[in-house]
Chains A and B, each alone.
Chain A
Amino acid sequence: MAIFFLKKLGVIIPTFLGVTLIAFTFIRLLPGDPVLLMAGERGMSEERHARLMAKFGYDKPILVQYGHYLKDLMQGDFGTSIVTKQPVLKEFMTLFPATVELSLCAIFFAVLFGLPIGMIAAVKRGSPFDHTVMAGALTGYSMPIFWWGLLLIIFFSGILGVTPVSGRISLFYFFEPVTGFMLIDSLLSGEEGAFVSALKHLILPTIVLGTIPLAVIARQTRSAMLEVLGEDYIRTARAKGLTPSRIIGLHALRNAMIPVITVIGLQVGVLFAGAILTETIFSWPGIGKWMVDSISRRDYASVQGGLILIALIIMIVNLFVDLLYGLINPKIRHTK
C-alpha cells in the first residue's frame, strides 16, 4: 500500500510543478507587464515603473523569477489580489467553505436519488420505469445547467415564490461565521428561522449542481448492477433460495458499488466546473463566482493563485479516491 501511495505521489509532484509553470507563464502571456497591470488605467512614470519592476523582481531572468515564485508558493504565499490587496490564499479560504457546502449538498442529493433509482431500474430492466429513468438520465446529462438554473428560478421563485433567488441566507440574519458552513453556523447562532432561511437558499443551487452527477450516478449504478446481476454467484444465491431483497441489497449492491464509487470520485472536477455556473446564476459567494469575477475584473493575481489552489485540491481529492479504490480493490493496488 505504501508503494502504491508513493507511486501515485511520484506522478502528482511533477504534475503539480507543471500546473505552477502553466499558471506562472499564463500571467506573463498577457499584454503589458504585471506592474502596468497593477497600475491600471492611471499609468505611472518611467522611473517609478522601473523601481517597482525591481522591487517585485520582474527585472530578473525568467527562470529566477519562477524559482522565487515556487519558493513563495511553498511558503503558502499565493500572491496578493490586485483589486482587494488581500492575500489570495486568505480570500480563497473565506470563500471556499461556501463552495464545499454547496458541492457536498449536491453530491449528497445526487447519491441519495441516483443510487436507488439506478438500482430499481436495473432490477426492473425493460420496464416503463427503466425506460423513463434512462431517458431522464440522458436528458439530465445533456442539460445546460446554467439554463436549468434559470428555469428553476422562473418556476419556484417567480411563479410559486417559495425559494429565494440568490445568496446564502436572508439579509435579516447576521452572525459571525464560525465554520463557514451556513447550515451549521445558522444553527449555532441560535437565531430563529436562520437555519430554515439557509436551507431554502440551498435548495435550488443544490438541484442545479447535482443534476449532472445524479444522471451519471443513476446510469452508472444501473449498468454496474446489470453486470453484477448476470454473475454466477448471484444465480447461486438465487438457487440457494435467498430472498430477492437480500440478493440485491447485500450480494449485488456491494460489488456494484466499486465502479459507482469511482464515478462519484470523478465528479469532483465536474462539480467544480458546475460550481462556476451555478454560483454565477445564484450569486453564491463561493470559489466559482470569485474566479469568474476575478477574470472579468482582470485581477490576474487572484486568477493565478485560484487556478493553482483549485488544481491542488482536485489532485489531492483524486489521490484520495485512488487510495480508497486501491484499498477496496487489491487488483488495482498490485498492478504495475
Chain B
Amino acid sequence: MAELTYNQGLDTRQSGRLELLKEFWRYFSENRGAVIGLIFFVVIIIIAVFADLIAPHLPNHQYRDAFLQPPFWQEGGSVKFILGTDAVGRDMLSRLIHGARYSLFIGCVVVSLALIVGVSLGLIAGFFRGWIDTTIMRLMDIVLSFPSLLLALVLVAILGPSLVNAMIAIAIVQQPHYVRLTRAAVMGEMSKDYVTAARVIGVRRLRLMFVTILPNCMAPLIVQAALSFSTAILDAAALGFLGMGAQPPTPEWGTMLAEAREFILRAWWVVTFPGCAILFTVLAINLMGDGLRDALDPKLKSS
C-alpha cells in the first residue's frame, strides 16, 4: 500500500513537469520572433554539425586560379564558388559553414565556463553572506569596472592570442553577471519556508545549496545564459577582428573579417558575408533569449 502511494506521487510529479514544459512552450510559442529565432538557431546547429558534408569545398583549400572571384550572380562569378572566393582563393561559402562550428563552440564553452564559476561563486556569496560575500562581490566590482572588451583584450595579450585564450578571457569578463544574478536569487530564496524546513530536517549544506535552493534560482540564469551566448559570439568575433582571437587560417567569422579588411573597396563579398553570418546568428539567439525571458520570468519583461 505504501509503495502504491509512493508511485502515485512520482507519477504526478512527472506529469507536473510535463505540464510545466507545455506551459513554457505555450508562452514561448506565442512570441513569433522567438520561434523564428529558434528555427534559425536549430538550422545553424545542423549546419555546424554536418559542416563536412554540406560544405562544397575544404575551408582552407586555396584555388590558385580563382582569387577574389565574385559570387555566382555577378559577372565573373561561377556556380563552383556560390558566394565567391577570398584573396587567396578559398571558397567563402565553405569557410562560412565551417565558421558556424567555431561560433557555436565559442558560445557553448564561454557560457559553460562563466555559468559554472559564476553560479558557484554567487551561491557561496548569497548562502554564507558576511566577509565571503563582501570579498566576492568586491572582486566582481573590480572586474566590472573595466570595459568588458578592453579587459578581455588585455587578458588575451597576457595569455597569448589564440581562440582558447580568447574564450577564457571572455568567460572571465562575463561571469560577474552570473554571480550577481545568482546571489540576488539565492538571497531571495533563503528566507523562504521550504529552506527553513530543509534546514530543520537536517539537510547537509552542499545539498541544501545545490539541490534545494539552486533549482529555484534557474529562471533568470537561463535567460542570462541565452543572452551571454550571443555576447560571447560577438566578443570573440571582435577579438578575432582585432587579431587577438582565433588566428588565421581558422575560418572564424571575426578573423575572416580582419583578413578581408584591406579588400573592402574592391571585393564587397569578402566583407559582407561573414558579418551577415555573425549578425543573423546573434540576432537569432537574442530573439530566442527575449522569448525565454517572457516565458520564464514575466517580471523581467521590462528590463
Contact = CB atoms under 8 A, between A and B. Distances in A.
Interface of A: 11, 14-16, 18-19, 22, 26, 29-30, 135, 138-139, 141-144, 146-148, 150-151, 153-154, 157-158, 223-224, 226-227, 269-270, 272-273, 276-277, 280, 291-292, 295-296, 303, 307, 310-311, 314-315, 318
B259 to A, nearest CB: 12
B282 interface: yes
13 contacts: A11-B141, A18-B141, A138-B290, A143-B279, A146-B238, A151-B275, A273-B147, A273-B150, A277-B149, A307-B146, A311-B145, A311-B146, A314-B145
Contacts of B238: 144, 146, 277
Interface of B: 33, 138-139, 141-142, 145-150, 153-154, 157-158, 230, 234, 237-238, 241-244, 254, 257, 261, 264-265, 268, 271-272, 274-275, 278-279, 282-283, 286-287, 290, 301-303
Contacts of B244: 295
B278 A147 contact: yes
B173 to A, nearest CB: 10
**Best-surrounded residue of B146, B234, B244, B301 (most CB of chain A within 10 A):** B146
A156 B243 CA distance: 26
Given A142-B279, A292-B242, 19 more contacts: A11-B141, A15-B142, A15-B145, A18-B138, A22-B142, A138-B286, A144-B234, A144-B279, A147-B274, A147-B275, A157-B265, A223-B303, A269-B147, A276-B149, A295-B153, A295-B154, A310-B146, A311-B145, A314-B146
A144 B255 CA distance: 13
B279 A139 contact: yes
A276 B154 CA distance: 12
Contacts of B265: 153-154, 157-158
A143 B150 CA distance: 18
A151 B278 CA distance: 14
Interface of A is mostly: helix
B142 A144 contact: no
A286 B171 CA distance: 27
Nearest to B141: A15
A272 B158 CA distance: 21
A236 to B, nearest CB: 22
B257 A150 contact: yes
A150 B149 contact: no
A142 B146 contact: no
B264 A153 contact: yes
A14 B138 contact: yes
B161 to A, nearest CB: 10
A245 to B, nearest CB: 24
Contacts of B286: 138, 141-142
Given A14-B138, A150-B257, A154-B264, A142 B145 contact: no
A22 B150 CA distance: 14
Contact of B139 (A18, A291, A311): A18
Contacts of B157: 295, 303
Contacts of A295: 153-154, 157, 244
Given A15-B138, A147-B278, A154-B265, A138 B283 contact: yes
A272 B238 CA distance: 14
Contacts of B148: 269, 273
A146 B145 contact: no
B257 A19 contact: no
Contact of A150 (B146, B150, B275): B275
A276 B150 contact: yes
Contacts of A148: 275
A276 B153 contact: yes
Contact of A142 (B138, B257, B282): B282
B302 A227 contact: yes
A142 B264 CA distance: 22
A138 B287 contact: yes
Contacts of B242: 276-277, 280, 292
B154 A26 contact: yes
Closest 5 CB pairs of A and B: A147-B275, A273-B149, A18-B142, A272-B147, A273-B147
A32 to B, nearest CB: 12
Given A22-B142, A147-B274, A154-B265, A142 B230 contact: yes
Given A272-B150, A273-B148, A273-B150, A144 B275 contact: yes
Nearest to A275: B147
B232 to A, nearest CB: 13
A315 B257 CA distance: 33
A139 B283 contact: yes
B302 to A, nearest CB: 4
A105 to B, nearest CB: 18
Contacts of A158: 264-265
Nearest to A14: B138
Contacts of B290: 138
Contact of A315 (B145, B264, B283): B145
A331 B234 CA distance: 37
A144 B282 contact: yes
A14 B140 CA distance: 12
A218 B302 CA distance: 13
B257 A223 contact: no
A139 B37 CA distance: 12
A126 B53 CA distance: 43
B271 A150 contact: yes
